[in-house]
Amino acid sequence: MKLNALTNARSFHLALGDSSGEAKLFLGQVTGASSLVKLWGREENYQIVKVIEGNRLVKLEKLSLPRVVKIDVEGAEYAVIYGLKETLMNSACELVCCEIHPQLLPAGPQPKQIFDKLKSCGFNQINIYHRGTTEYHILAQKLNQ
């Protein structure tokens, strides 16, 4: 942000989830591949990070409600969406772009639960974009509000 002289953005050194506390952030071998979900059986390379629900962060930091939310969290998709449910339910939030990693999802939530949670937040159209791998992107929109 400093390099690009951005004045309309803020960064927070924490992770979003469905509860507050601390967690292990397992570090991936490439940029962008770190996750709160234990990656491919590798546990030796991690750091402890603060975790907060997205709704709580929005309130504590007095953040404006987003129009668009991008989620790319390597298997923690459901937890992030659950922790943001109040924010996502707001009519100001119209679009969620989320990368889904079925093979990294912890026991319990499956892609269907992610879709159901987004639908319960008012997103009535969900398009799936396959990448030729097990991961794929979804674009969830609130249409005809």
The whole model's pTM is what? 0.90
Would you say 89 and 83 are in contact if contact means Cβ atoms under 8 Å apart? Answer: no
Partners of 97 in beta bridges: 70, 139
pLDDT of 145 above 90: no
Cα distance between residue 98 and residue 12, in whole Å:
20
Residues shown for the chain: 145
CA–CA distance, 16 with 105 (Å, rounded to integer): 15
What SS3 string covers 22-34?
A: EEEEECCCCCCCC
Domains of the chain: 15-141 (3.40.50.150)
Query: Mean of the per-residue pLDDT values for the chain?
Result: 91
At residue 133, φ and ψ (nearest 5 deg) are: -125, -175
At 52 the pLDDT is 97
Query: pLDDT grade, residue 14 (50/70/90)?
Result: very high
Share of the chain above pLDDT 70, in %: 96
- Residues 6+ away with beta carbon under 8 Å from 106: 37, 75
Q: Map tokens 């979804």 to a residue.
A: 138
pLDDT tens per residue across span 50-106: 999 999 999 999 999 999 999 999 889 999 999 999 999 999 999 999 999 998 888
Residue 40 has a pLDDT of 60
